[in-house]
Amino acid sequence: MSVLEWIDERLNVGQARQFLLKKEVPLFYGTVWYYLGGITLFLFAVQVVTGILLLLYYQPGETTAYESVKFLVSKVQFGWLVREIHSWSANLFIFFAFLHMFTVYFAKAYRKPRELTWVSGMVLLVLGLAFGFSGYLLPWNELAYFATRVGSDVAGSIPVVGGFLLRMMRAGDDVSGATLTRFHGIHVAVLPAIFTIVLGIHLTLIQIQGMMLLIMSILERVAALHWFHLDKQKIITIYLIH
């Protein structure tokens, strides 16, 4: 207790503690639709931890990238596990980010006053996809190489600016060691930095505004009132809300 007091005297954390202790959440927050953002956040944390672990053995570079991944999964203890978790969690992250987005969309939770939360969320989604695209090249195998070639070709087909974008992405005219170096830097430094800032904004907004009372609240009330016509009522309620 004295440690807390010591800190409190200097930093005045009492208010923050009060906020954490007396945080208001909807009564029905137990519904699964409220979990999706949290699950996505959890998966992001898994990505950060496993990504840092992978950095301990991964060697970016034309001649070393592929070999170091092979070394990681075959020689390093539990290297295969860390890599697989990073890969699986990446896919699940995108999956739950989309589920989260659709839930917010269909609940119309993007409306005033939560427009900024929605916009920052969309930025996070795009950043998440950029994470996926840049990370896909790093194993430096045939699949990664051609996926990046095709992917950057798509960007290259944009009128007027396409050629410039293509060169910016590939760090040259073709996918090469320079592309790998660039994608690695983007994947482990540039994107995490931007993502962390936007995520901070996203989470702060949620804390400030609180959770939206989702359709579920109305459904539950309806369910309580009309036990016997639950299914019909549900259908009607959903119809009315939209």
Partner 1 sequence: MRDTNSGQVPGRRRFLDILLGTGVFLWLGSVLYPVAKYFVPPAQSGPDVSSVEAARVDELAPGSFMIFRFGRMPGILIHLKDGSYRALSARCTHLDCTVQFKSDTEQIWCACHNGLYDTEGRNISGPPPKPLERFDVVIKGDKVFVRKGELT
Angle at 126 between CA 121 and CA 131, to 5 degrees: 120
Question: What would the two tokens of residue 211 be?
Answer: 């959770």
To partner 1, the closest distance from the beta carbon of 124 in angstroms equals: 26
Q: Which is nearer to partner 1, 6 or 80 (CB)?
A: 80
Q: Does 71 bind partner 1 (CB under 8 A)?
A: yes
To partner 1, the closest distance from the beta carbon of 58 in angstroms equals: 10
Q: Give the residue among 201, 90, 104 at the shortest CA–CA distance from 138.
A: 90
Q: What SS3 state is found at 79? A: helix
Q: What SS3 state is found at 85? A: helix
Rounded Cα distance between 210 and 213, Å, is 9
Q: Does 180 bind partner 1 (CB under 8 A)?
A: no
Q: Give the residue among 75, 72, 91, 78 at the shortest CA–CA distance from 139.
A: 72
To partner 1, the closest distance from the beta carbon of 168 in angstroms equals: 25
Applying CB under 8 A, the span of 78-86, 89-97, 150-158, 181-189 interacting with partner 1 comes to 78-86
Q: Of the candidates 10, 22, 23, 75, which one interacts with partner 1 according to CB under 8 A?
A: 75
Q: Does 146 bind partner 1 (CB under 8 A)?
A: no
- Sequence-distant (6+) residues with CB within 8 A of 213 are 26
To partner 1, the closest distance from the beta carbon of 26 in angstroms equals: 26
Q: Does 82 bind partner 1 (CB under 8 A)?
A: yes
To partner 1, the closest distance from the beta carbon of 126 in angstroms equals: 31
Question: What would the two tokens of residue 159 be?
Answer: 């009128």
To partner 1, the closest distance from the beta carbon of 94 in angstroms equals: 23
- Sequence-distant (6+) residues with CB within 8 A of 50 are 82, 83, 85, 86, 89
Q: Which is nearer to partner 1, 31 or 141 (CB)?
A: 141
Q: Does 53 bind partner 1 (CB under 8 A)?
A: yes
72 touches 57 (CB < 8 A): yes
Q: Does 176 bind partner 1 (CB under 8 A)?
A: no
Applying CB under 8 A, the span of 57-65, 105-113, 159-167, 212-220 interacting with partner 1 comes to 57-65
To partner 1, the closest distance from the beta carbon of 105 in angstroms equals: 34
Q: Of the candidates 18, 63, 157, 204, which one interacts with partner 1 according to CB under 8 A?
A: 63
Longest Cα–Cα distance in the chain: 68
Size of the site for partner 1 (CB under 8 A): 17
Q: Give the residue among 40, 52, 46, 67 at the shortest CA–CA distance from 140.
A: 67
Contact residues: partner 1, CB under 8 A: 53, 56, 59, 62-64, 67-68, 70-71, 75-79, 81-82
